[in-house]
Amino acid sequence: MKIKKQTTLLIIFSILFSFGCNQKTVKNEVNIDKKVDSVLKLMTLEEKIGQLSLFTSDMDQTGAFIRKEYQEDIKKGRVGAIFNAYGAAYTRKLQEMAMNTRMKIPLLFGYDVIHGHRTIFPVPLAEAASWDLAAIELSARVAATEAAAEGLHWTFAPMCDIARDPRWGRVVEGAGEDTYLGSLIAQARVKGFQGNDLAATNTVAACVKHFAAYGAAQAGRDYHSVDMSERMLREVYLPPYQAAIDAGAVTVMTSFNDLNGIPATANRFLMTDILRNEWNFKGFVVTDYTSIMELMFHGVAADTAQASELSILAGVDMDMQSGFYNQELENLVKTGKVTESAIDEAVKRILRVKFQLGLFENPYKYCNEELEKETLMKPEFLESARDVARKSIVLLKNENGILPINKQVKSIAVIGPFADNKRDLIGSWSAAGNWSKSVSLLEGIKAKLPEANVLYARGSNIADDSTQFFAEAVNIAKKADIVILALGEAAYMTGEAASRSSLDLPGVQMQLAQKIYETGKPIAVVLMNGRPLTINWLNEKVPAILETWFLGTQAGNAIADVLFGDYNPSGKLPITFPRAVGQIPIHYNMKNTGRPMDPNNKYSSKYLDISNEPLYPFGFGLSYTQFEYGELSLSKNEISENETLTVKISIKNTGKFKGKEVVQLYIRDLVASVSRPVKELKAFQKIELEAGESKMLEFKISTKELSFYKADMSFGYEKGEFEILIGGNSRDTKNVKFLLK
């Protein structure tokens, strides 16, 4: 009875504490709103419009500078925010200009802090391969801490675009192809950037991008059109954005694409109907770079005035770089095409974020040069980057246990254009990262094995047709006990404006691999890239392949940790690797079709010249150990709509190494009012087991996991038969069925 009484008291205390916190949050929001209103009442129309403009700082050989015309705009109160300006001293200088204006409204400083600021972490697609939400949140927390120490308040991340076409270069910036995993990662990044207190000096405001459906650009070509049903939009593409907003993100960026003919930057359905009215978003919306101007190229605006009118009325608050709001809004108000109250609402949303950041209280709180010196690239930050990098590596193949390499090996040949490469390791969108401070693969291996005979040959360049380095590479390979062959694509080949029509290794790298293979030496390929590649020959011939992506500042050390067994790889692919570009789009959760693939029936959904199957499926990744999956058991075979189903499965480490496994649960709705995917990820658990250890896992399934947009576009569940699939990837699963009655 005593225990029960104490438990009851704890519950009551918890409720009261939660109520108190909620009351405090509501009170703070009310106070901020009052402060925003008090500022707004004092502003002229010109000053209001100024808050809606975002301009860039620039960089040359002498360092950062701001254009003279932008300096004049700041001094006149015609700028609300600056991007690409960082450094405690430099941002203070610009902030002082704003503090000398009549209203003394502080500037907001933004920057593309995508996967680290000075300490560069793995690119986002690589981090997604870790399936480790705590590690991803930590990465964003370190990035925010360093960025804030250099005067930044705002990052243009996370990118929440679901991407199923690896030709699109910006797959590198997101979490891959899956809606559920992408939603969880979006939340983790927002929490990492913003923490629990946006006014703290080690947090930055997150910006959810690119709203919306930018990852579905036709033909994988950047900036291209998107055309899809509302069902596809709501089921697949919108949830990660909403998850990030639910996690507290205070800003959103429009996407470059049009959606069903309406460019996002002029799309009231997206920016007002969904974002504000459905999702109750209270923050502000910023365009991507010059995208208001681009409304004219889309063909929906005749001139700068109409482009500005369409954007502000759609619900776009801040104009990045085009300058059209400053140029046109005042006249649009005077002519009655835009109301001043519409301007006021946009200004309120921007001022509110500035108050949340504490900038009105102290405009220079992020301009502490001593804090800046103490914070950047701390040893603990570098160690965190190394740890996240290790977790992001995916073992694609390991025939005959060639990996891990015995540390007693006498001679190792490290060959390839990425063997002693530092510049590409930090990937695209590497912010203020200094590539010269990154650790190359060669350096990582030499540091790991200081007594070994480590041989090096360039082998080839990344992208040209020269074979002049082949002979040296072959000669080096013949002298070694094992070859580590470092291949991939350059960092500039991924990211914005980096679409590729071919996913093959560029240049003569495949020819180099074939030459090294002919030596007969055991080979482990280390891939460095920002997207899936078509590597059929490597998969067929080479005994070991590690997908290491672009791992950042500590790449070489992290890869060496995995190569030599100090870390057992546990990464799983967040995106499907196709066999050929002709299979694209290819993803694990496609529809069954009315004529599913049948190798014995010509008139079924398949290719004449290639398998339907990918080279590596979503969720795939090996370990140095092996995991055995037991049979699935259910708490019951039938459940009602108010019940929860418990699913159990035993996982055993049957190998010789301690290892981690990502146990993935998928669900298929067998009969529904609309055709459903063949499977959908609904849960996963990352576990660690000693050699020989077993663990019983439990998953809970309710109608939440079974809901979808039905034939009438209402969201909910339908009764009927479902299949549960659990495994170490989306292909190799144990299956069982149950009935929702």
Catalytic center residues: 288
Q: Measured in Å, how far apart are the chain's first and last C-alpha atoms?
A: 39
What the block records as the tokens of 296 is: 């004219």
Q: Which amino acid is it at 262?
A: I
Pairwise CA distance, residues 21 & 16, whole Å: 9
Pairwise CA distance, residues 230 & 260, whole Å: 10
Residue 351: C-alpha distances to residues 43, 52, 58, 324 (Å): 12, 10, 25, 20
Pairwise CA distance, residues 715 & 238, whole Å: 14
Residue 285: C-alpha distances to residues 282, 320, 325, 710 (Å): 10, 10, 14, 31
Q: Which are the contacts of 142, defined by CB distance < 8 A and separation ≥ 6? A: 116, 119, 121, 381, 384, 385
Task: Identify the CA nearest to 312 among candidates 297, 70, 330, 299.
Answer: 330
Pairwise CA distance, residues 549 & 54, whole Å: 33
Q: Let me know if 739 is exposed, middle or buried by CB neighbors in 10 A (0-12, 13-18, 19+).
A: middle
Alpha-helical regions (H) of 294-339: 294-298, 304-314, 324-334
E strand or H helix at 516? helix 509-517
Q: Which amino acid is it at 316?
A: V
What the block records as the tokens of 364 is: 């220079």
Alpha-helical regions (H) of 431-481: 441-448, 470-479
**CA geometry: angle at 320 spanning 319 and 321, to 5°?**
110
Pairwise CA distance, residues 513 & 525, whole Å: 9
Pairwise CA distance, residues 209 & 397, whole Å: 34
Whether the CA torsion 237, 238, 242, 245 is positive or negative: it is: positive
Q: What is the CB-side half-sphere exposure of residue 35 using CA atoms within 13 A?
A: 18
